[in-house]
Chains A and B, each alone.
Chain A
Amino acid sequence: MRVPYEDRFHELEPLLARVEKPSRYIDHEWGTMSKQEADYRACLIYPDTYEVGLPNQGIAILYHILNQQEGISCERGYVPWVDMADEMRAAGVPLLSLEGAAPVASFDVVGFHVPHEMACTNYLEAMDLAGIPFYSADRSEDDPIIIAGGPSVYNPEPLAPFFDAILIGEGEEAIVEVCREHQRLRDAGASRDEILRGLAAIPGTYVPALYDIRFDGDCTPHGYAVPSEGENVPPVVYKRVVKDFGATDPVSQSVIPYAQLVHDRLSVEVLRGCARGCRFCQAGITYRPVRERSADQIVSAVTRGLAETGYDEVSLTSLSTTDHSCCEQILSRLNRRLEDTGISVSIPSQRLDSFGVNMALQVAGEKKGGLTFAPEAGSQRMRDVINKGVTEDDLDRAVRAAFEAGWRRCKLYFMIGLPGERDEDIVAIAELADHVLELAREVVPKGQRGGISISISVSVFIPKASTPFQWCAQTPDEEVKRRQQLLLKSVKNRAVRVHYHDAETSLLEAVLSRAGRDMAPVIEGAWRRGARFDAWTEQFSLERWEQAASDCGIDLRAIAQTPYDLDAIMPWEHVSPGVSRGFLQREYRRALAGETTADCTRASCAGCGICPTLHVDNVLMGERS
């Protein structure tokens, strides 16, 4: 029998006294929408702590949409931090939803958000606390249907056996279809297998149990997935794109947390998609086409959202907000409206040109914190390889404008280990940072030069599915460490601070990005050895992963560091954001030749194939500058 849906907060309450940040677990926030009485119950779980998960817009959107459905109640869940998880295990308290404080195992459907690769052990941590079997194949008729979705599903294979269904692409419409179909089949007395087949018929829904992994022909060592014999499921599951983005509600947040979060503000998604075409960037492919909301819709959404939530900051979110064709108009209208309220507007990152700095100036007001730019590579040659359409001149102008306008702190993002990278490209990062510092000293008046701060943050390139670099190997971790040291040595000026990402975490991220279904037992093994919250540096240990991999006869470094053949079938080709293989291959070749490709929202179509394949189009509100 299924665990009954009932409030068990009284079991959790005595534990609150023993854990840090009890407000993570108490619920009762302003704006929760779930219903006490409902025919069908969903619990959406973010695979990290409350304060990391609460600001997530994806969950907020789906929570809102599901609760608007008649008869459906949607609650939220998060993964208890290690102290609370241990207390709960000791006290025999299962994982509870937030609103109803009901066992997660009592819901009809449990949906996990898939934000990035490093969350993988937390799905198991949550399922273990909830008392739900890890593998789809081991679940019984009484267990909830476990679904997943989010930005990091474009190589679903390492996680595939853990989920009953994975929703590919935008979930606004798909999640309602999945829940309604499940409800209908449940009421008709369908078995679990019948339900899974029913869900697989909904466009964009990948049901891993209905596919076999084959190793014949031209493929990687991880094989490729094909519909199991006799199963009427699509050979390629294409991502969903919401029918009319402009018709969706731009105010997705309703729940206002008590706990103070890193991103504690109203978020309004002003546009979706980015067509700049950076060749390492997965989001740049998977969020296409580009769709802008109108300036009127954005301004009225901000006003309404602030009134409903009471926040004192609003962030205009997207992959590239300053690319919005009406950006300038939107910011000036908002500034007028929010004058004398103490409410501020923010935009997540700056475009690397003087327009970007002007826009930053519009929202900064008196308080100028730091400005963040992402040149991504130090040399022009390397920036052309990755198709980062930024020249040295752009950068010079942007930095000069920023320091003239009064900013004193500047942060630059770079990536190392990129395909074709040479030592001179690493040295170029250091030279660029030194150059920015010199520019700053030139522009900033003498008495204020002490306040100048330049920092560079250097991540490690990770080859991601459905990008032009999907065939590339990751640079070996020992070599990454050497290049990091080379960078440190090459930065001449001690006023430039250098931060770089952990090579070992990046190694595992590459493994999880490139492997196939063979990785699932390794994830389980790592969890059994204590891995959880791997995205938290202090919790991560590569050793656990190496042991778990060796138990399964798998070499992590071989997976990350062996390139794939350009003609091989990839382990993830049965799920697709609609991009054509030919486009990715062409872009890869152009990268090696140092040729750039233009942004299709500013120039002609680059032929990525997404619009014709998915029957969608870019939607712009004006000319982009």
Chain B
Amino acid sequence: MSEQNIQPLFRLRVEYVKAGRLAYLGHLEVLHTIERIIRRASLPYAVTQGFSPHMRAGFSSALPVGTSSRSEWYDVFLTSLVPPAEALQRLQAASPEDLMATRCGYVDVRTPALTAQITRVLYRIELSFTDASAGCPDVSDALSEVIGLGRIPYARGKKNKVLDVDRMLVSHRVADGEGCIVLELDTRCDNEGALRPEILVAAIDRVLARRAVASDDDPIQSTGIQRFDRIARYRVERRAQLVEGEDGELIDPLCARS
């Protein structure tokens, strides 16, 4: 322990993407891969003391299997300072294309964990309908109906949960995309939970299919990959993860202090 107190540590914060086929990786698979990338990059990572020493690193919240992201984050503690440009270049040389590091910089070692700091998450969702029967206004109306419900009950494994749409959804936008309808969401996430986009998509599908959103026998299931009645295909991408400042301003995690 004493050694650790004396040794200065540096906290490198790294942004990376989760794209293409690698969207199908599970959270633990991503964690282990990132650790291997850090070792391949030969960054001077710090190791926890004790029984089973491991790399000191912390990650932003888990992304469901099948969901891609333009902005995932991790912090890794280093025992010596590597200039950010060099660290980024070394990480990039050790990363597969679809988990590429995009930016990095140092934050204060006392900065709260990423999971505590990040309170706003932006998503972009593409919905495709094979029959082209549902257009932008239909989806928009369906979403309004879902928002009107306020709360969506769903099941996560064997647990019954409720998504508080009122509190977790900050704003939304529905627009026509190329061969799909694009849904943009600005959501909150905190200790109480986060808005899992697939639940909102499932609720929209049920409204479009004229089924009850809330159902005790057949609740909406929270999993990254689902099959729906009306929506033929959908793609969810995390666009940004941000820190909400005291005055409601949105701050990049690289610049956030508290």
0 or 1 for each of B41-65: is its CB under 8 Å from A? (1 = yes):
0100001101111110000000001
Whether A258 contacts B33 by the Cβ 8 Å rule is yes
Whether B55 contacts A23 by the Cβ 8 Å rule is no
| Contact A30-B35, Cβ < 8 Å, known A17-B66, A22-B65, A23-B26 | no
Whether B40 contacts A366 by the Cβ 8 Å rule is no
- How far in angstroms is the closest Cβ of chain B from A27? 7
Of chain B, the residue at the smallest CB distance from A343 is B39
Whether B32 contacts A30 by the Cβ 8 Å rule is no
CB neighbours of B39 from chain A (8 A)? 306-307, 310-312
CB neighbours of B227 from chain A (8 A)? 17-18
Residues 287-317 (chain A) with a chain B CB within 8 angstroms: 306-312
- How far in angstroms is the closest Cβ of chain A from B89? 17
Residues 2-28 (chain A) with a chain B CB within 8 angstroms: 9, 13, 16-18, 22-23, 26-28
- How far in angstroms is the closest Cβ of chain B from A185? 37
CB neighbours of B29 from chain A (8 A)? 23, 258-260
Whether A26 contacts B47 by the Cβ 8 Å rule is no
CB neighbours of B25 from chain A (8 A)? 23, 26, 258
Docked CA distance A308–B93 (Å): 11
CB neighbours of A366 from chain B (8 A)? 50-52
Interface residues on A, range: 20 to 34
The reply on B20 being an interface residue by CB < 8 A is yes
- How far in angstroms is the closest Cβ of chain A from B22? 7
| Contact A22-B51, Cβ < 8 Å, known A30-B96, A310-B37 | no
| Contact A310-B36, Cβ < 8 Å, known A17-B227, A22-B24, A28-B22 | yes
Among B30, B47, B98, the most chain A Cβ lie within 10 Å of the Cβ of B47
Whether B40 contacts A342 by the Cβ 8 Å rule is no
CB neighbours of A308 from chain B (8 A)? 40
CB neighbours of A28 from chain B (8 A)? 20-22, 96-98
| Contact A26-B22, Cβ < 8 Å, known A258-B33, A306-B39 | yes
Whether B42 contacts A307 by the Cβ 8 Å rule is yes
Whether A341 contacts B47 by the Cβ 8 Å rule is yes
CB neighbours of A367 from chain B (8 A)? 51-52
Docked CA distance A445–B114 (Å): 45
The reply on A29 being an interface residue by CB < 8 A is yes
The reply on A340 being an interface residue by CB < 8 A is yes
Whether A342 contacts B32 by the Cβ 8 Å rule is no
Whether A342 contacts B24 by the Cβ 8 Å rule is no
The reply on A237 being an interface residue by CB < 8 A is no
The reply on A146 being an interface residue by CB < 8 A is no
Docked CA distance A26–B99 (Å): 14
Whether A312 contacts B98 by the Cβ 8 Å rule is no
CB neighbours of A342 from chain B (8 A)? 47-48, 53-55
The reply on B254 being an interface residue by CB < 8 A is no
CB neighbours of A126 from chain B (8 A)? none
Docked CA distance A27–B47 (Å): 30
Whether B24 contacts A16 by the Cβ 8 Å rule is yes
Docked CA distance A27–B97 (Å): 13
Among A13, A260, A309, the most chain B Cβ lie within 10 Å of the Cβ of A260
The reply on B225 being an interface residue by CB < 8 A is yes
Docked CA distance A26–B21 (Å): 6
Whether A310 contacts B52 by the Cβ 8 Å rule is no
The reply on B6 being an interface residue by CB < 8 A is no
The reply on A507 being an interface residue by CB < 8 A is no
Of chain B, the residue at the smallest CB distance from A366 is B51
Of chain B, the residue at the smallest CB distance from A341 is B47
Docked CA distance A620–B30 (Å): 42
The reply on B38 being an interface residue by CB < 8 A is yes
- Given A28-B21, A312-B54, A366-B50, 14 new contacts (CB under 8 A): A16-B225, A17-B225, A17-B226, A22-B24, A23-B25, A26-B21, A27-B21, A29-B96, A30-B36, A259-B29, A264-B32, A310-B94, A342-B47, A366-B51
A-B pairs, 8 with minimum CB distance? A310-B36, A310-B40, A310-B39, A17-B225, A342-B47, A26-B21, A342-B53, A22-B24
